[in-house]
Amino acid sequence: MDAQELADLLAEVRDGTLPADDALTRLRRLPYAEVAGARIDHHRALRTGHPEAVYGPGKSPDQCARIVAEMLSGGSGPVLLTRAQPQQVTAALAACLGGAVHRPADRGSGRFGDGAQSAESLVTVVWRSADARSERVVVASAGTSDGPVACEAAAVLSAFGVSAHRVADIGLAGLHRFLAEVDTLADADAVIVVAGMEGALATAVAGVTAAPVIAVPTSVGYGAALEGVTALLAMHASCAAGISVVGIDNGFGAAMATMRVLDLAARCRREDV
């Protein structure tokens, strides 16, 4: 339940179109409901502007299905099932098919965080996608092996109505490839930069755009890359001012950080009108 839904609920009670007992039944789901060993945070969108997501790894297919069903029945939207394995997707769709959109990860060799399953078989499933928004967000990745993390970020943005512009394979080892996209980066409202190895792409992007830059280190790289630690530290140590850095392989976190920036800007525009 978000702020608008709560306001509508109270208005219905005030107008007499919804019995108070029915409203109380719905409000009992706040702030959480216990389902399948999890406490579903129905109150999160009301507090933060965005609902919680369902993280697939470590959950059984039945848990995924029951949690998604509870979130949908409680009015949450968008509802995301992230990094889901085929069995989890099948179970969730069997329970909650209507309106679901599959967003498979790009092919790539990255470990995608948990290291337990290749990224190619993991997907993000979305129910109740938000209405389209006008902001221009670029998701730029250094190499094709960074694709799964970039795809996750783009899928999460899409769930919230932002159609990300993907720019792939512009790592600095081929500087001409990066320079060919400078105008695209400069025109963005926000840029998510996904890079492994030494993570240098984030510094280069932050040097050519005034937009907020959210950097995502990936676990792509040879031994000295230390499964993403080298890129993580390099991004934190960047000489380009103002870069924000999320955890290794955290495309979801980068997208949600971007949504907070975009939502704040949208609120400021509304208040200025």
pLDDT, one tens digit per residue, over 195-207 is 999 999 999 999 9
Determine the angle formed by the axes of helices 147-159 and 251-272, rounding to 10 degrees: 40
Q: Is there a domain that residue 18 lies in? A: no
Give long-range contacts, CB 8 A cutoff, 24+ apart: 117-121. 117/85, 119/147, 119/148, 119/149, 120/148, 121/85, 121/86
Q: Is there a domain that residue 198 lies in? A: yes
Per-residue model confidence (pLDDT) at position 165: 95
Q: Is there a domain that residue 16 lies in? A: no
Helix (H) or strand (E) holding 114: none
Q: Is there a domain that residue 14 lies in? A: no
CATH of the domain at 73: 3.40.50.1970
Per-residue model confidence (pLDDT) at position 5: 66
Mean pLDDT of the chain: 85
Token output for 231: 């890129």
Q: Rounded CA gap, 62 and 64, in Å?
A: 5
Full-model pTM: 0.82
227 Rama class: left (phi>0) / alpha (psi -120 to 50) / beta = left
Residue 141 near residue 147 (C-beta atoms within 8 A): yes
Q: Is there a domain that residue 87 lies in? A: yes
Per-residue model confidence (pLDDT) at position 115: 44
Residue 81 sits at the vertex; the CA angle it makes with 253 and 26, to the nearest 5 degrees, is 100
Q: Is there a domain that residue 228 lies in? A: yes
C-alpha neighbours within 13 Å on the C-beta side of residue 158: 21
Q: Is there a domain that residue 23 lies in? A: no
* Domain tally, the chain: 1
By residue range, what is the domain housing residue 251? 40-272
Residue given tokens 């208040």 in the structure block: 271
Q: Is there a domain that residue 67 lies in? A: yes
